[in-house]
Every structure is written in structure tokens, then in C-alpha cells.
Amino acid sequence: MDIFASLGLGFATALEPMNILYCFIGVLLGTLVGVLPGIGPTATIAMLLPITFSLSPVGALIMLAGIYYGAQYGGSTTAILINLPGESSSAVTAIDGYQMARKGRAGPALATAALGSFFAGSVATLLLAFFAPPLARAALSFGPPEYFALIVLGLLVSIALAHGSILKALAMIVLGLLLGMVGQDIYTGTPRFTFGFRELFSGLNFVSVAVGVFGVAEILRNLESEKNREVMVKKVTNLWLTRDDFRRITAPVLRGTALGSVLGILPGGGHILSAFASYSAEKRLSKTPQEFGKGAIEGVAGPESANNAAAQTSFIPLLTLGIPAHPVMALMVGAFILQGITPGPNVINDEPALFWGIIASMWIGNLLLVLLNLPLIGLWVKMLTIPYRVLFPAIVIFACIGCYSINNNIFDVYGIVFFGLLGYVLIRLGCEPAPLLLGFVLGPLLEEHFRRAMIISRGDFSVFVTRPISAVLLALALGVVILALLPSLRRKRAEVFVEED
């Protein structure tokens, strides 16, 4: 079969010594940022983007992918050991994982997280390998109206799944779209929103926006609310599971994998949503629901499998359509563009070694995570003793140097300062910056496909509803808006995000 020949090419690429090294660095850094509360994969990838400019496209994207799914695993370590989820999707793991640790069962909890993550990640990567090529082929038949409708659907779903107020999420999307319009008009070359700055004629620097809004703003927020962190972890022993433990986690791992694989494709916070959905499902299906919240191993197995499966399948819309499912994938779009590659359905034909190399590296990365994390538990916990006021200034300086090195332009560093302050103000106002980045990345694509559709149809707006695929996608977008405004769903969203916080 062609799929096996393609996977062979992918493994040949991923198993090159330098690419294995980049994968190792990625999962190591991902675990590190997952362990440290307050940084997270989005901010880390944003600040490491400048480094990847000098790497090969395959090595750069393998490393960034490793950071992302490594962070999904790393967040579970401190969630279990000291009740501090290092990544938002690990907040559910802390509920029962920490109770297991208090009962002296930290080892089995960590082993459950590791094995569940490895299984779910491997299965989801297999789904990515089988479903991405046909989706990419189908996407080649999309015209400008279909792409416009698809982007509208993605933006509206991201609003429905965003934290907090739907109105504020909508405002962030609109702000992101406006920021994406800065620069020269794509057809006439007329400067827009440049305020006389020649540096803005080519648009806002993606790295400056990402590092500022996610990196610097998060650092300012964490410095403001830094708490004393007391590490109270004894030496972890008995990492292997008993036969009864294996029996209890088998079904939750399978259900979490299936749930995460589906929800990970959704725009917004698919990995977060899948973790909470898995926990809720396991509690309802359990014969002993009273154990949940008191150290039920199923409460660790299901969510950990779900969020790691979602981390892998969130690459499907990126690799097949060029549409990011959430802010981390938006940063991956930026990494593609920095390397001179246009993400989308043509990547599989134009860059087969890159496409299949990224997929194959996910299996290698998941294996490295299991081999790497359990022996280094003591090191990860010690990292928590580093004060934020020492750690974060070094990160900011490093990010500014990297951003400057891309274009050797001090204006980009000023951009980091401006967007860092803007992001901090938005956070203080209760606005989530994630929809802003999605709007910023997708805004130029939305405008380009809309104007192309108008040119093809000679200004006839009916082109969006007379073409079947476009009409279906816009109908789904309308359905998302209606569902998001339903009082019952709004209450459910509020409950989920309050529980997460």
C-alpha cells in the first residue's frame, strides 16, 4: 500500500540523527515547560520560533511538534505530585492524581499518565497518518468560497470554545482580524494601518505578536500573582501497575483515546475540552463514582489519554487544510511560513519528506517521553523551586535576541514590548488572547479567499450559498452561533471553565 511506502519515507526522515536530536530537544523542552506552571507550550513555542529560523524545515517543525505534545505530558507530573497543573489540560489530572499521591500511590499515577499518553498518542498518530492524505486530496477541490466558509466556521467554533465571555472572545477575533490587515493591500499594494512606518508595509511581525501576547503578557501576569511554592514530594517508588490497575485503566484509556482523537480536530481548546469530557464520561460510567475526587485511577487514565490524543489529531486540519485548530497550531503555521512553506493540502505532494517525517517523529517522540520522564521525576520537581523573578527575565531576553536575529530589525523588539503590554491589559480585562492570535493568522487568508471569490463571481455574494460545500460549512457556522447562544450551553461552558480555574 502507498501509505506504508509513505510511512517508510517518514521514518527514514525522522530517524536521521539530527532529526532524532531535534525531536529529543523538543520533548525535553516540552516536558520542562509543562512542569513549570505559568509558561505553557504556546508561550514557549512563540519564544522559540526565532531559533527555528536557522534550522532545516523538517528539524524545526519536528522540534516544535515535540514541544507541544511533550508539554501535554509534562503538565501531568506536577499535577499529580504537588497539585500544580503545569498545563491547562492537566487540571483534570490533578483532581484524582494528587489524591493518589497523598495515599502513597504517586508511582502508579505517574505510570498511568505515561502509558495512557503513549498509547493515545500512538493511536492518534496512526489516525493522522491514515486520514490526513485523503483529506488533503479532498481539500484540493476546495475553491475560494469553500476556504472562506471553512475559515469562518473555524473562527466561530473557536469563539464558542473559548474561555469566559463569548462577547469578549468575539472582540478578540475581530481585533486579531484587524491586526492581520496591517500592511499593504494584497491586490492594490496600498498601505493600510501603517501610520507612516515603513516597517509595517509587509505587515506585523508574527513572532513579535506571538511572543508579546503569549510570552511577555503571561510572564507579567505570573510575576504579579506569584505564590510561594512548597515542594513536598517524597521519593517516588513502585512505578509499575498492578494487575487490578491495568484492568481498571484499560477501558478509560480506550475511551479517552477515542474521545480525544475526535475533539482534538475542533478549533479552540480541543485538548482541554477532551480532558474534561473524558473525566465527566468516566465518572458517569463508573460503578463507584463516589471514588472520583478521592484518588480514582480512572480519573487519571481517561483525561491523560484524551488530551494526548487530541494533541496529535489537532495536526490534521493544519497539515491538510492549512487551518490551525488552536493557538499552538497557529504558531506552527508561522513556523511553516518562516521556512518558506505554505501550509495546506499541497504540502503532502510538494514536501512529502516533511509531511511524513513530522508524522513519524510523533511515534518516536511519544516513545522518548516514556523513556525520559519517569527517571527524571526528581529533576522536574526541583525545577519548581526556581523563582519566577529569576527564570522569566532570562526567558524574555532570550526571546528578544531571537526575534531581533530574524530580520536584524529593532522595530520587531519594540513590537514585542507593545504586544506584551497589550496582552497583559487584555488578560487583566478578562479577555483570552488565544482567539486574537487565531484571528491574526487567519485574517489575511479570510480576506484573500473572500476577495478571490468575489472576483470569480463578479461581485455576486450568492457564490457562497450556491456551491454545496460552502453552503454546508456556512450552515454549520450558523448552527455553532445558535448553539453558543443557547442558555443551557452557556451555563455548561461556565461550569467547565470555573472548574478548570
pLDDT score, position 1: 47
Picking from 234-238, 366-370, 455-459, which range would have the lowest pLDDT averaged per residue? 234-238
| Position 245 pLDDT exceeds 50 | yes
Q: What is the pLDDT of residues 322-352, one digit of tens each?
A: 778 777 787 888 888 878 887 878 888 888 8
| Position 498 pLDDT exceeds 60 | no
Which of the pair, 397 or 273, is modelled with greater confidence?
397
C-alpha cell at 16: 536521521
State the amino acid at position 279 in one-letter form: Y
C-alpha cell at 474: 456556512
| Position 141 pLDDT exceeds 80 | no
- Span 52-65, mean pLDDT? 86
C-alpha cell at 357: 517525517
Percent of the chain with pLDDT over 70: 86
Q: What is the number of helices (H) and of strands (E) in the chain?
A: 24, 2
- Span 286-301, mean pLDDT? 85
| Distance separating alpha carbons of residues 52 and 403, to the nearest angstrom | 11
Percent of the chain with pLDDT over 90: 5
pLDDT score, position 495: 52
- Span 354-380, mean pLDDT? 82
C-alpha cell at 272: 482541554
Picking from 19-23, 89-93, 484-488, which range would have the lowest pLDDT averaged per residue? 484-488
CA dihedral 154, 155, 161, 164 (to 10 degrees): 180
Phi/psi for 55 (5° steps) reads -90, 165
Q: What is the pLDDT of residues 171-228, one digit of tens each?
A: 888 998 999 888 888 777 788 888 888 888 888 887 788 778 877 887 777 777 655 4
Q: Yes or no: say if 412 and 148 are a contact pair by the CB < 8 Å rule.
A: no
| Position 420 pLDDT exceeds 80 | yes
| Position 150 pLDDT exceeds 80 | yes
Distances from the Cα of 115 to the Cα of 80, 112, 241, 371, angstroms: 15, 5, 10, 11
Going from N- to C-terminal start, the domains of the chain cover: 3-220+251-498
Q: What is the pLDDT of residues 448-468, one digit of tens each?
A: 889 889 888 888 888 888 888
What value does the mean pLDDT of the chain take? 80
C-alpha cell at 57: 524545515
- In the DSSP assignment, the letter for residue 424 is H
| Distance separating alpha carbons of residues 233 and 381, to the nearest angstrom | 8
pLDDT score, position 478: 87
Q: Yes or no: say if 312 and 264 are a contact pair by the CB < 8 Å rule.
A: yes
C-alpha cell at 480: 455553532
Distances from the Cα of 351 to the Cα of 14, 111, 343, 474, angstroms: 14, 37, 10, 31
Beta bridge partners of 192: 183
Beta bridge partners of 184: 191
Residue 192, C-beta contacts closer than 8 angstroms, at least 6 positions apart: 181, 182, 183, 184, 185
pLDDT score, position 230: 46
| Distance separating alpha carbons of residues 366 and 69, to the nearest angstrom | 8
Q: How confident is the model at residue 114 (pLDDT cuts 50, 70, 90)?
A: confident
| Distance separating alpha carbons of residues 121 and 363, to the nearest angstrom | 8
Q: Yes or no: say if 396 and 217 are a contact pair by the CB < 8 Å rule.
A: no
C-alpha cell at 361: 517523529
pLDDT score, position 85: 64
Q: How confident is the model at residue 164 (pLDDT cuts 50, 70, 90)?
A: low
Picking from 51-55, 130-134, 410-414, which range would have the lowest pLDDT averaged per residue? 51-55
| DSSP output for 157-204 | HHHHTSSS-HHHHHHHHHHHHHHHT-EE-TTT--EES-TT-GGGTT--
C-alpha cell at 65: 511538534
Q: How confident is the model at residue 499 (pLDDT cuts 50, 70, 90)?
A: very low
Which of the pair, 390 or 352, is modelled with greater confidence?
352
Which of the pair, 236 or 390, is modelled with greater confidence?
390
- In the DSSP assignment, the letter for residue 314 is T
| Position 56 pLDDT exceeds 80 | yes
Q: Yes or no: say if 39 and 218 are a contact pair by the CB < 8 Å rule.
A: yes
- Core vs surface per residue 354-385: b (16+ CB within 10 A) or e: bbbbbbbbbbbbbebbeebbbebbeebbebbe
pLDDT score, position 257: 92
Distances from the Cα of 375 to the Cα of 181, 237, 321, 380, angstroms: 48, 11, 39, 10
pLDDT score, position 161: 64
C-alpha cell at 91: 487540571
pLDDT score, position 20: 92
- Provide the 10 A C-beta neighbour count for residue 211: 32
Residue 234, C-beta contacts closer than 8 angstroms, at least 6 positions apart: none
